[in-house]
Chains A and B, each alone.
Chain A
Amino acid sequence: MLQEKGYYGQFGGAYIPEMLYPNIASLQQQYISIIEHADFQKEFEYLLKQYVGRPSPLYKAERLSEHFQTQIYLKREDLNHTGSHKINNTIGQILLAKQLGKAKIIAETGAGQHGVATATVCALMGMECIVYMGEVDIARQSPNVARMKLLGAKVVPATSGSRTLKDATNEAMRHWINHPDDTHYIIGSVVGPHPYPDMVARFQSVISAEIKTQLQSQVGREFPDYVLACVGGGSNAAGAFYHFLEDERVQLIGAEAAGLGVESGKSAATLALGTVGILHGSKTVLMQTTDGQVVEPHSISAGLDYPGIGPMHAHLADINRATFYPITDEEAMQAGWQLSRLEGIIPAIETAHALAILPKISFKKEDIVVINLSGRGDKDLDTYIRYFELI
């Protein structure tokens, strides 16, 4: 999938200012040899197993399957330590940062899941941690802010622009420009300059590797008919798609956040609304004006409230290897409600977008549909409470 110089088709690359060149170049040169080293693999696998709790279960959701008249399996990334898939990547990157001799870590976060996962691995390794988070997200994901602080991280509000994930990413990049020698930037999704999209996808690829073995033992074949995942930057989707990318028997489906509706002017449906451009060091599809100014997105879910998408997904859409559905706030909230009632699992609102694809596709009774349950909804209780007037 990945070609020379970090491109997926026409998307990707490393459009960075010279100030970041030494860091990015050293990552580009070293990441594969570091990651593939036996000692690294051993430690990575150990931590994923004993610290994160992998493999995450692949659970046959009987009542949901009954409801949609198909065979639905939930890949339970919500059961990971810290409550989402984000920890797979931060474990990988903190080990990498140690190899690179970096003592300090910075990260951006939207929903706070990546921030928490980063703060967690920094505590684990005794490293200093600063997390940039948009002011708006600090307000709507306050439990995660408290968790990061408890874990010893410093949470810095991003106050520019829409005060969400895009702006937190800008601030993290500026911080890295100011502190290039002692700091590693743990990007939380398959976005940013090469090698981040590929590196993060590799760390998340454990998701689809496990799906293959779990399907083999549960249904007697290694591949599903469908894989469904939500897409902000696209890391959980990249991980869930990874080992099926070349297997045309598997339909790859992503959900992007349509906010109040694709045409409402309050949306984060990047592939539906975007055009080719450059954001955060990568050539990809982004929501922008005809003058090339980035448009401020909207989604009820902080983790999907991003005007871009990882270059791999832009390419998968371009070559029609994957299909992406825009899902509104309302559809996602209803899907979250439904999973809570049918399966006793409260999903993150990001994840609920993936569940909301179910009624949009007519599955056959015997189809095997894997949904990547990227995270749990504890952090979103406030939003659920307000939306459904629960209290």
Chain B
Amino acid sequence: MRSVKQTTMQKRIQVAFEKNKKELLTIYYTAGFPNLNDTLTIAQTLESAGADLIEIGIPFSDPIADGEVIQQSNMVALQNGMSVSVLFEQLSQLRQHVSLPVLLMGYLNPILQYGIENFCKKASEIGIDGLIIPDLPLEEYEQHYKSIFEQYHLAHVFLITPFTSPERIAKIDELSEGFIYMVSSASITGKTQGISTEQKQYFERIANMPLKTPKQIGFGIYDRSSFQTACQYAQGAIIGSAFIKHLQANPSKTPLELLVTQFVKEIKA
């Protein structure tokens, strides 16, 4: 039996992706970066500035799918003292301040050390809607994790790439609940080279597949133009490295809230 509260939680992602909605912007940022206690402030500001979904990264010492920018933010966050338990503490009042869908992104090891069941329970209690765990493959998920995620009503977001076979995409579609994360090219995060014809062909190929799950495009989306291009092929796009870089650069010491707002407005203007 689902409780009322859990139904609301799971609905947040579904509501965000209702059919008529377009150009959804998801912002990824690393928890505990630039400063340990910025996590909730950034989430709140993203909401008021007009972002549509929030993806909070749990820092890890060895993020193999990430480029230099996110590696760096992970390192700073760890030095600042971020951990799964600190993050849960910071987010304990999340739902009093933020109503957007919030997903946690993290590599599997820190989650396993916290305890998978505990992690899901806690995430669900504070109102997290979904999880993105890049090094948790489909087969392991199905066998050992799916039932726990479902028990706590956490959507598991799968990645697909230009090399993911149609059969595998169909399977991922069947197992997906929130959205499918289309990795824009064979690449780690943080590329800024624009979107090639080849990529557009891949986007188109996926757009033409009869999938039940909504899609967002991420990796290598870094400005208004690449965001808009991506949104021609999917309901939304995810920006990570470019946002982190924007927070990091900050030469004129702009206050964090303003910095976050500037970024979102520029993408969504």
A residues whose Cβ falls under 8 Å from a Cβ of B: 5, 13-19, 21-22, 160-161, 166, 170, 173-174, 177-181, 275, 277-281, 288, 290-294
CA distance in complex: A335, B140 (Å): 44
Say which residue of B62, B66, B109, B164 sits within 8 Å of A21 (CB atoms): B164
Say which residue of A16, A180, A290, A292 sits within 8 Å of B163 (CB atoms): A180
CB-CB under 8 A from B62, the residues of chain A are 161, 166, 170, 279-280, 294
Say which residue of B66, B108, B109, B158 sits within 8 Å of A18 (CB atoms): B158
- Residues B78-100 near A (CB distance < 8 A): 78, 83-85
Q: Closest CB-CB distance, B85 to chain A, in whole Å?
A: 8
The answer to whether residues A173 and B109 also contact, given A14-B137, A160-B71, A281-B135 and a CB cut-off of 8 A, is: no
CB-CB under 8 A from A292, the residues of chain B are 60, 84, 109-114
Q: Closest CB-CB distance, A81 to chain B, in whole Å?
A: 32
CB-CB under 8 A from A15, the residues of chain B are 108, 135-137, 140
CA distance in complex: A52, B67 (Å): 38
- Which of the listed residues B65, B85, B164 has the most CB atoms from chain A within 10 Å of its own CB? B65
Q: What 5 pairs between A and B have smallest CB-CB spacing?
A: A292-B113, A292-B110, A291-B83, A18-B159, A17-B134
A-B contact pairs, 5 of them (CB 8 A): A5-B139, A178-B187, A181-B163, A278-B112, A280-B64
Decide if B160 is an interface residue (CB 8 Å cutoff). Answer: yes
Decide if B186 is an interface residue (CB 8 Å cutoff). Answer: yes
CA distance in complex: A180, B65 (Å): 13
CA distance in complex: A160, B76 (Å): 12
Q: Closest CB-CB distance, A167 to chain B, in whole Å?
A: 8
Q: Closest CB-CB distance, A298 to chain B, in whole Å?
A: 16
CA distance in complex: A290, B163 (Å): 36
- Residues B178-195 near A (CB distance < 8 A): 183, 186-188
Given contacts A278-B109, A292-B60, 10 further A-B contacts (CB under 8 A): A15-B140, A22-B163, A160-B71, A170-B64, A174-B65, A179-B186, A180-B186, A181-B163, A279-B109, A291-B113
The answer to whether residues A173 and B64 also contact, given A15-B140, A279-B109 and a CB cut-off of 8 A, is: yes
B residues whose Cβ falls under 8 Å from a Cβ of A: 60-62, 64-67, 71, 75, 78, 83-85, 107-114, 134-140, 158-161, 163-165, 168, 183, 186-188
- Is the pair B161, A19 in contact by a Cβ cutoff of 8 Å? yes
CA distance in complex: A16, B112 (Å): 15
CA distance in complex: A245, B135 (Å): 31
- Is the pair B187, A18 in contact by a Cβ cutoff of 8 Å? no
Say which residue of B107, B108, B113 sits within 8 Å of A290 (CB atoms): B113
CB-CB under 8 A from B85, the residues of chain A are 291
CB-CB under 8 A from B71, the residues of chain A are 160
- Is the pair A294, B61 in contact by a Cβ cutoff of 8 Å? yes
CB-CB under 8 A from B108, the residues of chain A are 15, 278
CB-CB under 8 A from B159, the residues of chain A are 17-19
CA distance in complex: A179, B61 (Å): 23
CA distance in complex: A15, B160 (Å): 15
CB-CB under 8 A from A181, the residues of chain B are 163, 186
CB-CB under 8 A from B140, the residues of chain A are 13, 15
The answer to whether residues A17 and B158 also contact, given A288-B113, A290-B113, A292-B112 and a CB cut-off of 8 A, is: no
Say which residue of A160, A174, A179, A277 sits within 8 Å of B112 (CB atoms): A277
CB-CB under 8 A from B61, the residues of chain A are 161, 293-294
Q: Closest CB-CB distance, A283 to chain B, in whole Å?
A: 9
- Is the pair B186, A277 in contact by a Cβ cutoff of 8 Å? no
CA distance in complex: A173, B64 (Å): 7
- Is the pair A174, B64 in contact by a Cβ cutoff of 8 Å? yes
CA distance in complex: A22, B107 (Å): 20
CB-CB under 8 A from B78, the residues of chain A are 293
CB-CB under 8 A from A21, the residues of chain B are 137, 161, 163-164, 168
The answer to whether residues A291 and B110 also contact, given A18-B134, A21-B164, A174-B188 and a CB cut-off of 8 A, is: yes
CB-CB under 8 A from A170, the residues of chain B are 62, 64
Closest chain A residue to B111 by CB distance? A292
CA distance in complex: A16, B64 (Å): 9
- Is the pair B161, A18 in contact by a Cβ cutoff of 8 Å? yes
CB-CB under 8 A from A180, the residues of chain B are 163, 186
- Which of the listed residues B60, B62, B107, B168 has the most CB atoms from chain A within 10 Å of its own CB? B62
CB-CB under 8 A from B188, the residues of chain A are 19, 174, 177-178
CA distance in complex: A281, B135 (Å): 8
CA distance in complex: A277, B113 (Å): 7
CB-CB under 8 A from A174, the residues of chain B are 64-67, 188
Closest chain A residue to B78 by CB distance? A293
CA distance in complex: A279, B61 (Å): 10
- Which of the listed residues A13, A16, A179, A291 has the most CB atoms from chain B within 10 Å of its own CB? A291
CA distance in complex: A181, B135 (Å): 20
CB-CB under 8 A from B187, the residues of chain A are 19, 177-178
- Is the pair B135, A291 in contact by a Cβ cutoff of 8 Å? no
- Is the pair B135, A178 in contact by a Cβ cutoff of 8 Å? no
Closest chain B residue to A24 by CB distance? B137
Q: Closest CB-CB distance, B117 to chain A, in whole Å?
A: 15
CB-CB under 8 A from B158, the residues of chain A are 18
CA distance in complex: A161, B168 (Å): 35
Q: Closest CB-CB distance, B139 to chain A, in whole Å?
A: 7
CB-CB under 8 A from A16, the residues of chain B are 135, 137
CA distance in complex: A238, B140 (Å): 26
CB-CB under 8 A from B65, the residues of chain A are 17, 19, 174, 177
Closest chain B residue to A173 by CB distance? B64
CB-CB under 8 A from A293, the residues of chain B are 60-61, 78, 83, 110
